[in-house]
């Protein structure tokens, strides 16, 4: 039987059962409150550089189906759960969670009091962490703690480079507009939503120059979701700054933060982030409340927006964080949440309808 140890940078150590691959995983420990959608979450590129913990106690009961992948494989560094279901029961299931983790070379630990650990993170904030899955003797704990303390934090490395495409990729949608997507770690569901609306998508690397993007002749540019600290993406921020006013711009999650930075606002790190499928968002104009899927550890500083030309269109009623922005004079719109869901409710799919309508109006001028 595989054993496992979870180590936090504050010296906390938790023993449990190992699943997935034997070896070590390290990253920032974050929690997700979704009751389902573990396949989508594990394969979401926005979790690169992070060890994911599920607050829901039983994980894996409906198995794994590759139709639910949000990328080509697992992007989270590791997985922490209370209990793993060994015998999934679902007609779509192609393998169990343990096999899925093993095939992707990812470490997991079960038998953890995830409720207690989540409360700890909510009190003290996200922490650097490490999972060790082993078969023989227990590893040296003091050495593991030291390595965990010294490992780079999420703001000390460029994790987007690990998940962004390295070459141009085209996805045909039909007779709709041509949209260039700056890939900071895009989810497949976003491309799917655009294609369903007949848009043609050209996916380009996150470090593409603005001249290259404009040369492609897009009707609009979308900056995608992705992992890490947006302020580390200096080249992408500069590219978006140069694109502003030349072509309609849209942003989702990390893309929303990059747009804010490009136009002169600032961002900051949240204590423990927003990760789950039940986060409320209020439309500032209509007062309508949407239930959204979210996955981010950084947010736009509300006080820094003044003087940028941006205005807030949506807020989070729980903590007042900025959930939507638009520019008063330019065709620029962004949202902090994930309108494509995957997993989560479909309340905000209309973001893509609105986006396509705005692009069509812009093209017809």
pLDDT digits (tens, 9 = 90+) for 61-113: 999 999 999 999 999 999 999 999 999 999 999 999 999 999 999 999 999 99
Tell whether the model's pLDDT for residue 310 goes beyond 80.
yes
Question: Residues 210-247: pLDDT tens digits?
Answer: 999 999 999 999 999 999 999 999 999 999 999 999 99
pLDDT of residue 124: 96
Give pLDDT tens digits for 13-71: 999 999 999 999 999 999 999 999 999 999 999 999 999 999 999 999 999 999 999 99
Inform me whether the pLDDT recorded for 339 exceeds 70. yes
Position 362 scores a pLDDT of 84
Task: List the catalytic residues.
Answer: 253, 338, 340
Assess whether pLDDT exceeds 90 at residue 363: no
Domain ranges, ordered by start, for the chain:
3-151, 160-364
Q: What is the average pLDDT value for the chain, to the nearest integer?
A: 97
Would you state the pLDDT for residue 64? 98
3.40.50.300, 3.40.109.10, 3.90.25.10, 3.50.30.20: CATH of 3-151: 3.50.30.20
Q: What's residue 344's pLDDT?
A: 92
Cis check: omega of the bond before 325, within 30 degrees of 0 = no
Confidence at 251, pLDDT banded by 50, 70, 90: very high
CATH topology classification for 160-364: Rossmann fold (3.40.50)
CA distance 298 to 229: 7
Sequence-separated (6 or more) residues with CB below 8 Å from residue 262: 237, 238, 240, 241, 244
Number of Cβ within a 10 Å radius of residue 2: 17
Portion of the chain with pLDDT greater than 90, in percent: 97
**365 pLDDT more than 80:** no
Whether 294 shows a pLDDT value over 90: the answer reads: yes
Spell out the long-range contacts of 347-352 with Cβ–Cβ below 8 A and sequence spacing 24 or more.
347/290, 347/291, 347/292, 348/281, 348/290, 348/292, 349/193, 352/193, 352/194, 352/197
1: confidence class by pLDDT, cuts 50, 70, 90: confident
Cα 249 from chain centroid? 20
Burial of 74 (0-12, 13-18, 19+ CB in 10 A): buried
């Amino acid at each position: 039987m595989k054993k496992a140890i979870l180590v936090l940078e504050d010296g906390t150590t938790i023993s449990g059962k190992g699943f997935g691959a034997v070896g070590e995983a390290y990253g920032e420990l974050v929690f997700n409150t979704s009751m389902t959608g573990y396949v989508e979450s594990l394969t979401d590129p926005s979790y690169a550089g992070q060890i994911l913990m599920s607050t829901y106690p039983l994980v894996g009961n409906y198995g794994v189906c590759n139709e639910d992948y949000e990328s080509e494989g697992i992007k989270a560094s590791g997985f922490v759960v209370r209990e793993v279901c060994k015998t999934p029961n679902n007609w779509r299931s192609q393998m169990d969670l343990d096999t899925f983790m093993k095939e992707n070379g990812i470490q997991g630990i079960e038998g953890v009091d995830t409720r207690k650990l989540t409360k700890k993170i909510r009190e003290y904030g996200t922490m650097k962490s490490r999972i060790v899955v082993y078969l023989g003797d227990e590893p040296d704990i003091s050495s593991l703690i030291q390595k965990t303390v010294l490992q780079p934090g999420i703001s000390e490395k460029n994790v987007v480079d690990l998940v962004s495409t390295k070459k141009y990729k085209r996805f045909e949608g039909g007779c709709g507009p041509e949209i260039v997507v700056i890939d900071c770690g895009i989810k497949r569901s976003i491309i799917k939503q655009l294609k369903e609306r007949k848009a043609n998508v050209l996916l380009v690397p996150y470090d593409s120059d603005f001249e290259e993007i404009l040369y492609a002749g897009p009707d609009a540019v979308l900056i995608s979701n992705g992992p890490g600290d947006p302020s580390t993406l200096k080249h992408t921020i500069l590219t978006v700054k140069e694109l502003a006013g030349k072509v309609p711009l849209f942003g989702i999650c990390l893309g929303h933060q990059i747009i804010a930075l490009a136009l002169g606002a600032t961002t900051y790190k949240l204590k423990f982030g927003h990760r789950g499928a039940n986060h409320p968002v209020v439309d500032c104009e209509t007062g309508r409340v949407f239930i959204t899927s979210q996955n981010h550890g950084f947010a736009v500083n509300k006080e820094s927006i003044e003087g940028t030309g941006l205005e807030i269109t949506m807020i989070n009623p729980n903590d007042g964080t900025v959930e939507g922005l638009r520019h008063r004079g330019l065709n620029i719109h962004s949202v902090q949440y994930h309108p494509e869901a995957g997993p989560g409710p479909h309340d905000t799919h209309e973001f893509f309808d609105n986006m396509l309508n705005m692009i069509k109006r812009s093209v017809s001028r």
